Amino acid sequence: MEVRLKSTEEFLYNFNFEPVLAGFDKLLIGALVTVQLSCAAMVIGLIVSILCAAGKTSRVAPLRWVIDAYIEIIRNTPFLVQIFFIFFGLPALGIRLSPNSAALVALVINFGAYGTEIIRAGIESIQKGQIEAGTALGLSKLKIFRYIIMKPALRTVYPALTSQFIYLMLTSSVVSAISADDLAAAGNDLQSATFASFEVYIVITAMYLVMSIGFSAVFSMIEKVAFRYPLSR
Amino acid sequence: MLIRPFGFNEFWIIVMAAQWTIALSAIAFAGGGVGGLLIALARVSDAKWPRLLATGFIRVFQGTPLLMQLFLVFFGMNILGFAINPWIAAAVALTLHASAFLGEIWRGCIEAVPSGQREAATALGLRYFNRMRYIILPQASRIAVAPTVGFLVQLIKGTSLAAIIGFTELTRQGQIINNATFSPFMVFGTVAAVYFILCWPLSLLARRMEVKFSRSTTR
Give pLDDT tens digits for A169-180: 999 999 999 989
Burial of A69: CB neighbours in 10 Å, binned 0-12, 13-18, 19+:
exposed
Residue A14 pLDDT > 80: no
**Cβ contact B157–A72 (<8 Å):** no
User: Would you say residue B199 lies in a domain?
Assistant: yes
pLDDT of A9 above 90: no
Contact B156, B195 (CB under 8 A): yes
Q: Single out the residue of A64, A35, A30 nearest to residue A166, CA to CA.
A: A35
ipTM given for this complex? 0.92
Domain count, chain B: 1
Mean pLDDT lowest among A34-43, A165-174, B54-63, B121-130: B121-130
**Do B82 and A3 lie within an 8 Å CB cutoff?**
yes
Here the CATH number for the domain that contains residue B130 is 1.10.3720.10
How much of chain A, in percent, has pLDDT values that exceed 90?
67
- Which CA distances in Å does A76 have to A41, A175, A205, B193? 20, 18, 26, 9
Instruction: Give per-residue pLDDT as tens, B78-118.
Output: 888 888 889 999 999 999 999 999 999 999 999 999 999 99
B116 lies in some domain: yes
CATH class for the domain made up of A37-226: mainly alpha
Does residue A201 sit at the B interface (CB-CB below 8 Å)?
yes
pLDDT tens-place string over residues B45-85: 989 999 999 999 999 999 999 999 999 999 998 888 888 88
Which pLDDT score, from 0 to 100, does residue A79 have? 97
Confidence of residue B139 (pLDDT cuts 50, 70, 90): very high
Asked if the model's pLDDT at residue A97 lies above 60, the reply is yes
Domain assignment present for B43: yes
Question: pTM of the predicted model, to two decimals?
Answer: 0.90
Determine the angle formed by the axes of helices A99-124 and A24-56, rounding to 10 degrees. 40
Residue B61 near residue A212 (C-beta atoms within 8 A): no
Residue B10 falls inside a structural domain: no
Q: Alpha-carbon distance A113 to A109, whole Å?
A: 7
- Cα distance between residue B177 and residue B6, in whole Å: 8
* Domain with B200 in it: 25-163+191-217
Three-state secondary structure of chain B:
CCCCCCCHHHHHHHHHHHHHHHHHHHHHHHHHHHHHHHHHHHHCCCCHHHHHHHHHHHHHHHCCCHHHHHHHHHHHHHHCCCCCCHHHHHHHHHHHHHHHHHHHHHHHHHHHCCHHHHHHHHHCCCCHHHHHHHHHHHHHHHHHHHHHHHHHHHHHHHHHHHHCCCCCCHHHHHHHHHHHHCCHHHHHHHHHHHHHHHHHHHHHHHHHHHHHHHHHHCC
Mean pLDDT across the stretch A216-228?
91
Q: What is the pLDDT of residues A110-144, one digit of tens each?
A: 999 999 999 999 998 888 899 899 999 999 988 99
Q: What is the pLDDT of residue B120?
A: 93
In this predicted structure, what is the pLDDT of residue B78?
A: 83
Which of B72, B88, B188 shows the shortest C-beta gap to A89? B188
- In angstroms, the separation between the Cα of residue A61 and the nearest Cα of chain B is 21
Per-position DSSP letters for A134-167, written without gaps between them: HHHTT--HHHIIIIIIIHHHHHHHHHHHHHHHHH
Smallest Cα–Cα separation from A1: which of B26, B95, B87? B87
Task: Report residue B3's pLDDT band, with 50, 70 and 90 as the boundaries.
Answer: confident
When mean pLDDT is compared across A3-17, A58-72, B55-69, B152-166, the lowest value belongs to: A3-17
Q: CB under 8 Å to B80, separation ≥6 — which residues?
A: none
> Would B131 be classed as within a structural domain?
yes
B178: nearest CA in chain A? Answer: A88
Give me the pLDDT at residue A183, please: 94
* pLDDT of A11 higher than 70: no
Contacts across the A-B interface (CB distance below 8 Å): 129
pLDDT at A46: 95
Say whether pLDDT at A6 is over 60. Answer: no
Residue B76 and residue A170: Cβ atoms within 8 Å? no
| A76: contact with B, CB 8 A cutoff | yes
Distance of CA A139 to the CA centre of its chain: 34
User: Residue B83 — φ and ψ, nearest 5°?
Assistant: -70, 145
| Cβ–Cβ below 8 Å for A204 and B189 | no
Closest by CA position to B157, among listed A87, A82, A68, A90:
A82
Distance CA B21, CA B14 (A): 11
Is B71 close to A197, i.e. CB distance below 8 A? yes
Task: State whether A85 and B189 contact (CB < 8 Å).
Answer: yes
User: Is residue B116 within 8 Å of B53, Cβ to Cβ?
Assistant: no
